Structure 1
Amino acid sequence: MTSPESPRKSLLWLVAVGFFMQTLDATIINTALPAMAASLGESPLRMQSVVVAYALTMAMLIPASGWIADRFGTRRVFFSAIVLFVIGSVLCALSRGIGQLVAARVVQGMGGALLLPVGRLALLRSVPRAEFLAAMSFVAIPGLIGPLLGPTLGGWLVQYASWHWIFLINVPVGLAGCVATLYFMPDLRAALQRRFDGVGYAMLAFGMVTVSLAIDGVSGLGLHGVGVVVLMIFGFASITAYWLHAQRRPDPLFEPALFGIPTLSIGLLGNLFSRLGSGCMPFLVPLLLQVSMNYSPLKAGLMMLPIALAGMAMKRFATPLILRYGYRRVLVVNTALVGLTMASFGLATPDQPAALQIVQLLVFGAVNSLQFTAMNTITLKDLDGSMASSGNTLLSMVQMLAMSMGVAAASAVLGGYTEVFGSATPLATLHAFEATFASMGLVTLASALIFWHLPPEARAVQPAQPEVSGQG
C-alpha cells in the first residue's frame, strides 16, 4: 500500500484497533464460559445466551449503522460506540448473575455493532478510491489476529487471574481509542440525509430477535412446545411483513432488487444455513475440551490455535482454487468437507492422541476458512456500485444472525441429547457432545445443496476481497 499521509494512516490504525476490539471480544469469551458458569452458579451447558446476546445485538444494529453515521457524524458515532463497548465491558465484569451478564453483553454488542461499519464508512469517504482496497486489507488484518489471540488469551486470563479480566482489558484500550477518535476520526456525514425506514427496521429486528429467542428458548429460557412455536410464528410473520413492506416503499432498508441477483440470493442463503452449523464450533469445542476432557482453560484456548492458524494459511489458496474449479464446485465440495469434519468431532475421546486432535482442528480451520472466503466473495461479486454497500451490510447482518442462531441451535441440540444420555457422569456428557457434533455437521452438510444452484460458470476474476466482518 502506498504510504498514506499521517492523518490517514492514523485513521487506518484507529479503525483497525476498533475492529480488533470487536473480533477479540467475539472469541475471547468462549474458553471462559465454564469458569463464568461456576462463578455465577450456572451449568456450563446453559451459557449460550452470553454469546447469543452479543451476536444478535450486532445483527440488529448493523442495518441501521450507516444511517446513524450519516445522521450524527462518523466521529460522534465512533466515539459513542467505543464508550458503549467499554461501559458494556465494565458491566460484564461486575455482573453477579446470568441475567445481568446477558444484559451487559447487549450493551457491549451495541458498541461493537457500530465499530466496523462506521469505521469502514469513514475510510470509504476519506481514502482515495485507488487505495481503498489496500486500506481495507490493512484493516482486515486484526479480524484475523483477534480470533487467533482470543481463545488463548481468554484461557490464560481465566487460569491465572479471573474471568472478569477478559472484559476489563477492554477499558484501557477503549479509553485510548476515545482519545484517538477525537484527534483522528473525521466528522463525516451524508450531504443529503435520507429518510430512515423505521417501520421496516422494527419489523426486521423484531423478526430476528423472536426467531433467535425461539431457538435459544429450548435450552436457555426453558421454553417448551407452545412457547417456541408462538415465538417462531411471530418471528417469521414479522420478517414476511417486512418483505411486503419493502416492496411498496421507495427507500427500504434493503432493495428487493438485490434478491434478483442469483449469486447474492444463493450466497446469503448459503451463508445463513452453513453458518448455522459451523458457527457453533468456537462455542462447542472449548466446552467439550473443558467439560468432558478436563482440559484447563489455557490448554483449551491453545487447542483453538490450530483452527486460526490453518484459517490464515488457507487464505492464499482460496482464489487459485476458485479460479480453477469455479464457485459452485468449490462450495459444494467444501461445504460437505466442513460438515464431515465437524461430525468427526463426534469421535473425540479423552484418550485420543493430541496429534490427532491437532490434525482434526487444522483440517477444520482450513476448510472453514475457504468456506467463508468463497461464500463472502460469491455473495458480493455481482453487485454494482449502487448496490454494493447495501449488499455488504445485508451480508454482515446475516453473518452475525447466523452466528447467534447457530450457537442457540447447538445449545438446544446439546440440551436435548443431555436429556437422552444424562449428565450424571463425564461419559454421559461426552456422548451428548458427540451426538451434537454429528447433528450440527449434518446441518452443514445439507446446506451444500443450496450452493448446487450457483451458475457453473461463476469463477473468481480477481484476488478474494477482504472479509466483510470478523466472522470469516
Structure 2
Amino acid sequence: MSSTPSPHLSNRERAAIRMIPFIVGCALFMQMLDATVVATAIPAMAAALDTTPVKMNVAITSYLLALAVFVPISGWAGERFGARKVFIVAIVLFSAASVACALSQNLPQLVIARLFQGLAGAMMVPVGRIIMLQRTPKEDLLKAMSFLAMPALLGPIIGPPLGGFLVTYASWHWIFLINVPVGALGIYLIMKYIRPDLPAHARRLDWLGFMLSGIALATLVWGFESIGNADATRLQTLGLISIGASCGLLYVWHARHHPHPILDLSLLRIPSFAISVLGGNLCRFTVGATPFLLAILLQVAFDMSAFAAGLISFTGAAGALLMKFIATRVIETFGYKRVLTINALISGGFTAACAFFEASTPFWVMVAILAVGGVFRSLQFTAVNTLTYAQLTSAQMSKASTFAAMAQQLGISLGVGCAALIMNISMNARGAATLAQDDVAWAFAAIGAITALSFFSFIRLPANAAEQLHQKKRP
C-alpha cells in the first residue's frame, strides 16, 4: 500500500485500516494469554488428569516448543498460500485446539492438543503482523505498532489472575474455552475487513533444514526434561539426546551448504547477535520457570487458592510494565554493557529470592520481591531485544528476526523444563515420591543462578556496543 493515504479511499477501506491492528491484537492477546494463564491452573489440571504438578510442565513446554519449531516457516506459509487464508486457518486451528485441550482426559491428550495450539500460534501472530505491515499506510504504522504492543504487555498481567479466577470459581477447562469466542470474533472481523490476497511466488522452503532443526529441538528438549524423571529409563534419555545431537550436527553441516537455510547460523558470527541470543536465552529461563514454580509453591506447598496465587503471580508482569516507560532512558544513561552485566546479577538474585518464600511470608513481601524483580527483568529484555539487531544490515533483519523468535521460545521452554528437572532431582535425592517446598526452593535457586550466568555472556560485549546502536538512529 502506498505510504500516502489516498483521498479516494472508501469508508470501508478506512475502517479496515483502523481495524487491522485490533484484529492482529486479538490474535496476539490469545497467544500471550494462553502462554501465561495455564501456569496458574497447573495444580488443578494435575489433579483432574491424575498426574503430578511437576509432570504437568510438558503442557507448557510442548506449546512453547511447537512455537519455536514452526515460527521459521510462518513467513513462507503466508507467501505460499496467502496471508489472509493462513491467518484464518491458524485462528480456527488455535480455537479448535483450545477446545481439544478442555476436553482432554489425560496428560498425553493434553500435550497433543497443546502441540497443535503451538503450531497454530506460530502461524497466527507472525502472519497477522505481516498483514498489518503490508496494509497499513506508513504514516499510521507507528500508531498501529504501539497498539499491537498492548496485548503483549497486558496478557501476562491479566493471565494469572484470570486463570486463577476461572479455576477457583469455575473449572480449569475455561482457561482454554475463553479462546473460542475471541477466535470467532477475530475470524468474523478478518472476513469483514481484510480483503483476500493472492498467493505470491514463495521462495523455496528449506524442508530438510526444517525437519533436521525441528527434530533436534524436540528431542533435545524432551531428552533434557527426562533426566531425573523416574518414568524415563536411562536408555530412553540417552537415545533422545543422541538423536537430537545427531540431527543438530547434521543441520549445522546442512546450513553451511544451503544457500537459504531455514535458520541462518552465520548470524552467530556477528558478536552482538550471538551474545544477545546466548545471554538473552539464559535470562529467559526465568520467564518460563517463575510462573510454573510460583503456581506449585503457592497452591501446593502453601495451600492457596488458584485465584489468590494468581493475584500474587501477576505482580511481576505489572512491575515489568512500569519499567517500559523508563527503560530506554536508563539504558541510554548507563550504557548497554553496564546495564546488561549488572542487571543479570540483580535479576538472578530476585529470582533466587523466591526460594526463601514461606507460608508465613507476608503477602506484601512476596508482591514486592516479584514486582521489583519484574522491573529489572523488563529492563534486561528491553536492552537484549535492541542489542540483537545492533550490528545487522537491512538484508539480515528478516533472518535474524526469525532466528531470534525461535530462540526466545526455546529459552522459555528450557526454563520450564529445567525447573521440572531440578524438582525431580531434589525429590529423588530425598527418596520421596511427592513434592515438598524445598524441591521448589532448589528450583528457584537454580533458575536464579542460570540467569546470573548470563553475566559472562554480556561481559564480552564490546565497549562501543551502545555507540553502534546510536549511529543506526542517525539519518
Q: TM-score range by the shorter chain?
A: over 0.9
Q: 2:308 aligns with which of 293, 299, 306?
A: 299
Kindly tell me: are residues 424 and 69 of structure 1, through their superposed partners in 2, closer, same or farther at Cα, counting changes over 3 Å?
A: closer
Which amino acid is 2:88 matched to? F
**SS in structure 2 of the partner of residue 46 of structure 1:** coil
Q: For residue 356 of structure 1, report the CA deviation from its aligned partner.
A: 1.1
Give yes or no for the alignment of 1:434 onto 2:452.
no
C-alpha separation in 1, matches of 2:432 and 2:34: 30
Structure 1 window deviating more from structure 2 (397-406 vs 249-258): it is 249-258
C-alpha separation in 2, matches of 1:145 and 1:187: 30
Structure 1 window deviating more from structure 2 (267-276 vs 390-399): it is 267-276
Partner of 2:345: 336
Q: For residue 311 of structure 1, report the CA deviation from its aligned partner.
A: 0.4
Q: For residue 229 of structure 1, report the CA deviation from its aligned partner.
A: 2.6
Q: For residue 219 of structure 1, report the CA deviation from its aligned partner.
A: 5.3
Runs of 5+ in structure 1 lacking a partner? 466-472
**SS in structure 2 of the partner of residue 459 of structure 1:** helix
Contact kept? 2:80, 2:200, Cα under 8 Å = no
Kindly tell me: are residues 61 and 239 of structure 1, through their superposed partners in 2, closer, same or farther at Cα, counting changes over 3 Å?
A: same
C-alpha separation in 1, matches of 2:433 and 2:242: 36
Matches within 5 A, 1:196-207: 196-207=205-216
Partner of 1:370: 379
Q: For residue 237 of structure 1, report the CA deviation from its aligned partner.
A: 2.3
Q: For residue 423 of structure 1, report the CA deviation from its aligned partner.
A: 5.0
Give yes or no for the alignment of 1:381 onto 2:390.
yes
Contact kept? 2:15, 2:193, Cα under 8 Å = no
Q: For residue 440 of structure 1, report the CA deviation from its aligned partner.
A: 1.5
Partner of 2:84: 75
C-alpha separation in 1, matches of 2:33 and 2:292: 14
Which amino acid is 1:454 matched to? L
Q: 2:280 aligns with which of 271, 276, 280?
A: 271
Q: 1:66 aligns with which of 44, 66, 75?
A: 75
Matches within 5 A, 1:42-441: 42-188=51-197, 191-218=200-227, 222-421=231-430, 423=432, 429-441=436-448
1:183-214 per-residue CA deviation (whole Å, 9 max, x = no partner) reads: 22344467432100000111111110011101
Give yes or no for the alignment of 1:445 onto 2:434.
no
1:264-320 per-residue CA deviation (whole Å, 9 max, x = no partner) reads: 111111122222344311111121111111111000000012111110000122111
Partner of 2:9: none
**SS in structure 1 of the partner of residue 339 of structure 2:** helix
Structure 1 window deviating more from structure 2 (310-319 vs 220-229): it is 220-229
C-alpha separation in 1, matches of 2:126 and 2:108: 28
Give aligned-pair identity as a percent: 37
1:358-391 per-residue CA deviation (whole Å, 9 max, x = no partner) reads: 1111111111111111111111233222211211
Contact kept? 2:159, 2:314, Cα under 8 Å = no
Q: 1:13 aligns with which of 11, 22, 28?
A: 22
Structure 1 window deviating more from structure 2 (219-228 vs 44-53): it is 219-228
Structure 1 window deviating more from structure 2 (252-261 vs 396-405): it is 252-261
Contact kept? 2:268, 2:274, Cα under 8 Å = yes
What RMSD, in angstroms, separates the aligned Cα atoms of the two structures? 2.2
Kindly tell me: are residues 172 and 262 of structure 1, through their superposed partners in 2, closer, same or farther at Cα, counting changes over 3 Å?
A: same
Kindly tell me: are residues 347 and 245 of structure 1, through their superposed partners in 2, closer, same or farther at Cα, counting changes over 3 Å?
A: same
Kindly tell me: are residues 257 and 25 of structure 1, through their superposed partners in 2, closer, same or farther at Cα, counting changes over 3 Å?
A: same
Which amino acid is 1:431 matched to? D
Partner of 2:10: none
C-alpha separation in 2, matches of 1:170 and 1:221: 35
C-alpha separation in 2, matches of 1:378 and 1:435: 32
C-alpha separation in 1, matches of 2:345 and 2:278: 16
Which amino acid is 2:249 matched to? T
C-alpha separation in 2, matches of 1:54 and 1:254: 20
Runs of 5+ in structure 2 lacking a partner? 6-12
**SS in structure 2 of the partner of residue 254 of structure 1:** coil
Structure 1 window deviating more from structure 2 (130-139 vs 445-454): it is 130-139
C-alpha separation in 2, matches of 1:208 and 1:247: 18
Which amino acid is 2:436 matched to? T
1:151-171 per-residue CA deviation (whole Å, 9 max, x = no partner) reads: 100000011011011111111
Which amino acid is 2:456 matched to? L
C-alpha separation in 1, matches of 2:199 and 2:271: 30
Contact kept? 2:264, 2:403, Cα under 8 Å = no
1:337-375 per-residue CA deviation (whole Å, 9 max, x = no partner) reads: 111111111111111111211111111111111111111
Structure 1 window deviating more from structure 2 (171-180 vs 452-461): it is 452-461
Kindly tell me: are residues 220 and 173 of structure 1, through their superposed partners in 2, closer, same or farther at Cα, counting changes over 3 Å?
A: farther
**SS in structure 1 of the partner of residue 463 of structure 2:** coil
C-alpha separation in 2, matches of 1:187 and 1:67: 17
TM-score (normalised: structure 2):
0.92
C-alpha separation in 2, matches of 1:355 and 1:217: 37
Contact kept? 1:48, 1:407, Cα under 8 Å = yes
C-alpha separation in 2, matches of 1:260 and 1:288: 41
Contact kept? 2:350, 2:373, Cα under 8 Å = yes
| Number of residue pairs aligned between Structure 1 and Structure 2 | 462
Which amino acid is 1:28 matched to? V
Which amino acid is 1:457 matched to? N
Q: For residue 135 of structure 1, report the CA deviation from its aligned partner.
A: 2.1
**SS in structure 2 of the partner of residue 245 of structure 1:** helix
C-alpha separation in 2, matches of 1:337 and 1:119: 36
Q: For residue 255 of structure 1, report the CA deviation from its aligned partner.
A: 3.3
Partner of 1:469: none
C-alpha separation in 1, matches of 2:320 and 2:432: 34
Partner of 1:468: none
**SS in structure 2 of the partner of residue 435 of structure 1:** helix
1:207-238 per-residue CA deviation (whole Å, 9 max, x = no partner) reads: 10011101222356822433323322221221
**SS in structure 1 of the partner of residue 326 of structure 2:** helix
Runs of 4+ in 1 over 6 A off after TM superposition: none
Which amino acid is 1:90 matched to? V
